[in-house]
Structures are given as C-alpha cells and as structure tokens.
C-alpha cells in the first residue's frame, strides 16, 4: 500500500513536471537562470521517463527501482545546481523531498 501511494505521488508529479519543463516558458527561464538552458529538454524527457518507469514499477518492480534511482540522482544534481547558484534553502525543499521520496522507493521496489 505504501509503495503504491508513494509511486503514484512520484510518478504523476514527475510526469507533470517533466511536461512543464518542456512546454512552460517560466521553466525555460528557470533553466537559463540555473545556467544550463541547453539541457532543459533532456531533463524534461528524463523526468517524464522516470515518472513513467516508477508508475510501471508497480507491475515490474525492477523497472520502478531503476526509474526511482534515476530520479533520485536527478534531484541530487538539481540540488547541486541550486547550491552553486546560491538559491534560498526554501527553493531546495522540493528537490530534496522528491530525492528522498525516490530513494525510499528504490528500497521499496527492490524489497517487493
């Protein structure tokens, strides 16, 4: 039950956010602010693929673990970018929270 709820939260959130990265002007401007506008499309696609993998992991656990591990890594890298540009700590909370959530999902998927 816990695995299903956490996977739905993560998977749906990353599908939505990945889509927004690809198509929202505000997020295009954020990647410019981060100093990495050239990888915006890559990040958007990877977030959507990771979200889909987490959701499909409810049927194929190794796929879910793989997707959650990739999303955990992306959130760690996102935190590093935010630290390097001296963002306020409050702006780092979502990445830290989703990084921790996906790290937990890796363990849950591997133990299921």
Q: Give per-residue pLDDT as tens, 88-101.
A: 999 999 999 999 99
**Whole-angstrom Cα distance, residue 17 to residue 24?**
10
Give the Å distances, CA to CA, from 44 to 23, 49, 90.
Answer: 9, 9, 22
* Residue 65 CB neighbour total at 10 angstroms: 22
For residue 61, the 8-state DSSP code is H
Summarize pLDDT for 3-46 with one digit per residue, the tens. Answer: 999 999 999 999 999 999 999 999 999 999 999 999 999 999 99
* Residue 54 CB neighbour total at 10 angstroms: 32
Taking the model in full, what pTM does it have?
Answer: 0.94
**Whole-angstrom Cα distance, residue 68 to residue 62?**
10
């Amino acid at each position: 039950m816990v695995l299903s709820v956490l996977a739905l939260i993560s998977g749906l959130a990353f599908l939505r956010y990945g889509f927004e990265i690809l198509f929202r002007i505000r997020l295009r401007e954020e990647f410019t602010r981060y100093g990495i506008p050239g990888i915006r499309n890559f990040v958007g696609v990877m977030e959507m693929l990771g979200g889909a993998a987490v959701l499909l992991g409810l049927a194929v656990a190794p796929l879910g673990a793989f997707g959650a591990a990739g999303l955990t890594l992306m959130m760690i890298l996102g935190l590093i970018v935010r630290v390097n540009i001296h963002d306020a700590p409050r702006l780092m909370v979502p990445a830290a929270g989703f990084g921790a959530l996906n790290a937990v999902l890796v363990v849950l998927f591997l133990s299921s």
